[in-house]
Structure 1
């Protein structure tokens, strides 16, 4: 699946990490050159600096062959423009857009090219089939075409893995850690990374259940 994500904030970066970890072709766009430079080399995807409201930039990013466009900028007007361009100009099959101001939710519909509405409070949203949110371990994204589940779990002060390195945590077969969110920023996991309370982990698995992931970390 070819995916374009506009907005490299926390939500956009999380979605990009998850989809890239599931072996999709992902392009992440942001208008902040410094943010793009910060992420360069840290994410297994293509980064593009520029304004995603510009049709030429969207085309350069691959909109003509995109299967999915996700607008996650902090500006509702920009997200609507990006959605409309994706759907009307580039005929993208599936378009998801973040709503920052709840009062603007009524605008985010198919008239503006939006197929999936993403409330700002949602930590991550299913871009293929379903959206799920909870305070514990939850399946956030089910990639049916790839046969992959992406599962989130959070480390609490009572988690037995708090203070342990990733190398010390036995994972279920067929499971890898896609990213760790610490202090609002994604971190590339390494065996020496030490978990601490407050860390949020996104794991990709072909076989493990939510209960098995919970058992491994809690």
Structure 2
């Protein structure tokens, strides 16, 4: 699946990381050149600097051949413009947009090119399920073409994994930690990374269940 994501904030970056880890072709667009430079080379995807509400920039990002566009900027106005352009000008099959202000939710419909409107408080995995049209069990994203499952777990003060390195944690067979998100920043971790409360982990597995993953960390 080819995906363009507008907005490299915490949410957009997390979605991009999950979809890229599942072997999708992902392009992440942000108008902040410093943010793009910060993420470039640290994520397995393409970064593009520029305003995603500019049709020429969207075309440069490859939206003409996209299967999915996700607008996750912090501005409802920008998300609507991006959605409208994606659907009306570039005929993207599926468009999802984040609703930052609940009072604007009524605008996020087919008139603005939005197939899926997602409230800001929606959990990450649920948002991805809604956006991609891949629905399965709660808190679990299955991407059948990739043959993998992406599972999210968070480290709290009560988690038994606190203070331990990833190398010290026995993971189910066929499971890898795709990224650790700490203070809003995604990191491709090594076995020496020591887990802290507040860390969010995204794991890719060919066989493990959500319960097995949580048991390893909680």
SS in 2 for 1:180: strand
Aligned to 2:33: 33
Counterpart in the other structure of 2:107? 107
Whole-angstrom distance in 2 between the partners of 1:33 and 1:158: 38
8 Å contact 2:84–2:114 — kept in the other structure? yes
Distance 2:136 2:179 in 1: 19
**Contact kept? 1:11, 1:123, Cα under 8 Å:** no
Structure 1 position 68, deviation (Å): 0.6
Residue 24 of structure 1 and its aligned partner are, at CA, apart by 0.6
Give the superposition deviation at 1:102: 0.4
SS in 2 for 1:177: strand
2 CA distance for matches of 1:203 and 1:119? 24
Task: Give the alignment of 1:1-218 within 5 angstroms.
Answer: 1-124=1-124, 125=127, 126=129, 127-128=131-132, 129-130=134-135, 138-139=139-140, 141-218=141-218
The 8 Å contact of residues 155 and 199 in structure 1, kept in 2 or not, is answered as yes
> What is the TM-score of this pair, normalised by structure 1?
0.93
**Count of aligned pairs:** 213
User: Distance in 1 between the 2:88 and 2:190 partners?
Assistant: 42
The Cα RMSD (Å) is 1.4
- 1:128-164 deviation line (CA, Å, top 9, x unaligned): 224987xxxx32x332332322111111222121111
SS of 1:160's equivalent?
coil
Give me the whole-angstrom Cα distance separating, in 1, the residues matched to 2:137 and 2:7: 21
